């Protein structure tokens, strides 16, 4: 007879935060609009940015072309570059700062960072390529985006777009970088009106019930889960004769 035992797991008593539900058709439209918006950045990098092969190699090529005296600097990056953050770390850090600035404004009524500079524009939307990514890497984003939005009630809530279809390669090609998993788009980004309007119309805001539960100031018991699991038979160790 198979032996069973009970395993106990502790969990938070507050409600879990889910990703907003988006239809596959809307995801495809958002992806098309996003790639079209990012395309100028990828074109710039492919034209003016080259992987370094060493200082000697660059000198040799310039001398061979007879252009040692004509080192013309490239034009500036498209303005859009200053309105996007790429990567989970960059987006997470920005959400943390947005939440902190929002709390500081409530207490000090000052719209400046500790450095004296005004804070950057808030995110209008965050796009995450979830396909093939472990949930542990991005499961914090719904909660953090909701808290950042809640810290700035006068601003339009951040839309969180989880792209379930594999799209990392398309985003990488549009940006001209090897790997893309997460993109944060800030308010008033150039040429982003169509993307932002469609996203706000078709992506619901993030619902965080525990924010309301916390305001009630009621004690909630720790959520203890009981899981029944089978116990494997013990293996008999064989001793050498």
Q: What is the pLDDT along the chain (241 residues), one digit of tens a residue?
A: 567 778 777 666 566 688 999 999 999 999 999 999 999 999 999 988 765 555 555 555 555 555 444 467 888 999 999 999 999 999 999 999 998 875 655 555 555 555 567 778 999 999 999 987 888 889 999 999 999 998 888 899 999 999 987 888 899 999 999 999 999 999 999 999 999 999 999 999 998 877 766 666 667 677 777 777 776 666 656 655 5
CA distance 100 to 107: 11
Is 129 within 8 Å of 168 (Cβ atoms)? Answer: yes
Q: What percent of the residues of the chain are helix, what percent strand, and what percent coil, each to the nearest 5?
A: 40, 15, 40
> Alpha-carbon distance 112 to 166, whole Å?
39
- Token digits of residue 85: 């953050």
Which residues lie closer than 8 Å to 229 by C-beta, 6 or more apart? 4, 5, 6, 7
Strands (E), 62-144: 84-86, 123-129
Burial of 88 (0-12, 13-18, 19+ CB in 10 A): middle
Q: How many CB atoms lie under 10 A from the CB of residue 164?
A: 13
Structure tokens at 57: 């190699």
Tokens 């080192």 found at = 71
Rounded-to-integer distance, Cα 125 and Cα 175, Å: 17
Dist. CA 47–CA 41, nearest whole Å: 10
């Amino acid at each position: 007879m198979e032996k069973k035992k009970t395993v106990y797991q502790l969990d938070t008593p507050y409600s879990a935060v889910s990703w907003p539900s988006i239809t596959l058709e809307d995801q495809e439209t958002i992806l098309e609009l996003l790639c079209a918006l990012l395309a100028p950045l990828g074109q710039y990098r492919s034209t003016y940015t080259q992987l370094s092969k060493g200082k000697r190699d660059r000198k040799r090529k310039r001398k061979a072309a007879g252009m040692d005296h004509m080192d013309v600097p490239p034009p500036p990056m498209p303005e859009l570059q200053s309105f996007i953050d790429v990567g989970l770390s960059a987006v997470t850090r920005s959400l943390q700062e947005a939440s902190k600035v929002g709390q500081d404004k409530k207490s000090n009524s000052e719209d400046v960072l500790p450095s004296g500079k005004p804070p950057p524009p808030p995110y209008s939307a965050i796009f995450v390529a979830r396909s093939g990514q472990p949930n542990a890497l991005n499961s914090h984003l719904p909660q953090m985006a909701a808290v950042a939005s809640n810290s700035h009630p006068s601003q339009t809530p951040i839309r969180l777009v989880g792209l379930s279809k594999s799209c990392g390669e398309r985003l990488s090609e549009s940006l001209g970088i090897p790997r893309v998993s997460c993109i944060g788009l800030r308010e008033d980004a150039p040429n982003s009106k169509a993307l932002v309007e469609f996203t706000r119309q078709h992506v619901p805001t993030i619902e965080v019930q525990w924010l309301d539960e916390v305001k009630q100031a009621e004690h909630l018991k720790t959520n203890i889960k009981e899981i029944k699991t089978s116990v494997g038979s013990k293996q008999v160790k064989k001793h050498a004769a």
